[in-house]
Structure 1
Amino acid sequence: MNKKMIKSSLLALMLVLVVGCVSKTSHDVIRIGSKDFTENEIVAEIYALALEDAGYNVKRQMNISSSVIHKSITSKQIDLYPEYTGTGLISILKQKTINDPRKCYEAVKTAYNKKYHMTWLDYAKANDGQGLFVSKKISEQYGIKKISDLQKHASELRFASQGEFDEREDGLPVLEKVYGRFDWKSTKVYDNGLKYEVVEKKQADVAPAYTTEGKLSETNKFVLLEDDKQCWAPYNLAPVVRNETLKKFPKIKTALNKVDQTLDTATMTKLNAQVDVQHKEYADVAKTYYESIKDQ
């Protein structure tokens, strides 16, 4: 074999090796999606960092519309994303509300595996569900820490409604079904974006909110009330993973379950606040948080 033939053979061998490496890398990518709002982007980014730390090659597909992300995973465009137990049960599976967090989780876990060939990994304590908050002053003045306390003092308090909350099945109707009638001193409809301002400025005393909204981290101003009778469905965070992906990359389970063990409602609220109130980038917030928990 002459030098030219040897050189050609070596080049061909190198090309095969390069193509093989590229093919392997592409094949081994884990595609993580997120919904199109702050909290989901933060959590998806934390998941991505955890998987990269575990040695996986990750592709991020963030900011997918909440209305189409389920289709994205069922059509294999993504491999996993953060979902909420209540969303899975009510919006995707079209089942009746289960108010107990563990039973809700078990229901979606079983149904998703059977119907969609997907696995719900461990759920976090973080619950992004429906709630009510009052000002710190009102909480202290009337001793209101839970919704049953609020119901007893409703006639002394002004309610800042967002309109649809009064009519929506999972809003005021179910609240009054469980706790009894709320005879507010007054009720007025405000734009959702103004609710914290009107409560802080004492134009109203109580308003509905989702339980991990960033402004609720300002505990010197606002008190999120405990839903002590479990009126509303739980919306606990958990990774949803295609079974095919989990079988191929089994260490995903350990890496992501470790993350979810650290996420409770108060922690998630503070992370959301860093983006929505302090205007930091979600990726920076996720990285700082992951660095703080990765060696735990």
Structure 2
Amino acid sequence: MNRRRMAFATALVSTAALALTACGGGSDPLDSSSDADSGGSSSSESIIVGSANFPENELLAEIYAGALEAKGVKVSKKLNIGSREAYIPGLEDGSIDLLPEYSGNLLSYLDDKATAVSSEDVFAALPEALPEGLTVLDQSTAEDKDVVTVTKETADKYSLKSIGDMKGKDLVLGGPPEWKTRPTGVPGFEKNYGVTFKEYKVLDVGGPLTVNALKNGQVDAADLFSTDPNIIANGWVMLEDPENQFAAQNVLPIINEEKASDTVKGALNAVSGVLTTENLSEMMEKVTLEQQEPADVAKEFLETNKLSS
């Protein structure tokens, strides 16, 4: 959604909000009146922090929220909003102000003709692709890519090391709804690798439905995230991506420019300065395998890195 497609994105707001209401027990996660403020600051600054609908993004949103509260910013949270089709329009219309993003997927969503793949090139291309009124702040070294993942048994059976090795294997792929049409999903596999699938099963966004489907043999290959501790815990194989279908995916904040004060930028850039792939993976192990609350894990991270006061 570059500037030429802003009108289309905005038109999706009502549809996305309606769908989210149906999934959320009758409340609209983009309605700022539906949650009480989570911070008790007396600062005149206020930020509505959102997240996409998967655990890692919720964790990152909690980290951003905690870092801002520590600087006296009044924070309210609208978590588990949904996919970019829902939350990018929300950022544009002010329903939310801030959200954790992943550089490569964000660029691909905004500009389906983007060719940048390296961290530096993707970050440099984002400002031109962003809708008017939105900006991104410093990116972290933490990176979490989509990875096509198979069990070791499937990898051994079909001699799978890279995505291209799935060509002609008549496999079932599982992943999020968006992968049916996005260039980083099913269309990209055919375009970049000549790979088609016997069936595409719509699951969740790298969450328990996807993990269980792969574990139980309901799918042969699945879209997971490279920081997902289930991959190592189960001995699964992440297929190589030599054609760079998945660009660099550095974690960074996307925010409404009007809310990006020096205080806000300082707090969020400090988070990006200490967030790494390694500590993000460690936190996700606590969230997904140990079933700790994202807010508790975020608080521990901020305290460890002296960002909580």
Q: Normalization by structure 1: what TM-score?
A: 0.67
Letter in 1 for 2:296: D
Measured after TM superposition, the shift of residue 283 of structure 1 is 0.7
2:8 corresponds in structure 1 to none
Shift of 1:282: 1.5
State the Cα deviation string for residues 55-85 of structure 1 (Å, max 9, x = none).
2223122223444432333233443221233
Distance (Å, rounded) in 2 between the aligned partners of 1:74 and 1:181: 36
Instruction: After TM superposition, list the pairs within 5 Å mapping 1:277-296 onto structure 2.
Output: 277-294=289-306
Residue 289 of structure 1, CA deviation: 2.4
Gaps of 5+ in 1: 1-23
Which among 243, 249, 263 is matched to residue 229 of structure 1? 243
Contact 1:121–1:253 (CA<8 Å) still a contact in 2? yes
Q: Distance in 2 between matches of 1:34 and 1:167?
A: 22
Give the CA RMSD over aligned residues. 3.8
Offset, 1:138 = 6.1
Cα gap change, 1:263/1:159 in structure 2, threshold over 3 Å: closer, same or farther?
A: farther
Q: Could you tell me whether the CA contact under 8 Å between 2:210 and 2:224 is conserved in 1?
A: no
Rate the CA distance shift 1:31–1:199 in 2: closer, same or farther, 3 A: closer
For residue 188 of structure 2, what is the amino acid of its counterpart? V
Q: CA deviation at 1:43?
A: 0.5
What is the letter of the counterpart of residue 288 of structure 1? Answer: E
Residue by residue, what CA displacement relative to the aligned partner does 1:106-144 show, whole Å, maximum 9, x if unpaired?
2222343xx423321122344444321133466689986
1:172–1:240: structure 2 CA closer, same or farther, 3 Å change rule? closer
- 1:239 pairs, out of 233, 253, 256, with 253
Q: Specify the alignment match of 1:14 in structure 2.
A: none
Secondary structure of the structure 2 residue equivalent to 1:162: strand
Partner of residue 264, structure 2: 252
**Residue 73 in structure 1 maps to residue 85 in structure 2:** no
| 1:49 maps to 2:66 | yes
Which of residues 78, 102, 106 in structure 2 aligns to 1:84?
A: 102
More helix by share: 1
Tell me, what secondary structure is at the counterpart of 1:123?
Answer: coil
CA distance in structure 2 between the aligned counterparts of 1:223 and 1:106, rounded to whole angstroms? 32
Counterpart residue number, 1:18 = none
Give the match's secondary structure for 1:27: coil
Q: Normalised by the size of structure 2, how large is the TM-score? A: 0.65
**Percent of pairs with identical residues:** 29
Structure number with greater Rg is 1
Q: What secondary structure sits across from 1:96 in the alignment?
A: coil
* 1:61 counterpart = 2:77: yes
Which residue of structure 2 lines up, in the alignment, with residue 119 of structure 1? 135
What is the distance in 1 between the residues matched to 2:167 and 2:87?
Answer: 39
| Structure 2 residue runs without a partner (length 5+) | 1-40
CA distance in 2, matches of 1:289, 1:77: 27
SS of residue in 1 equivalent to 2:51: strand
Q: How many residues align?
A: 258
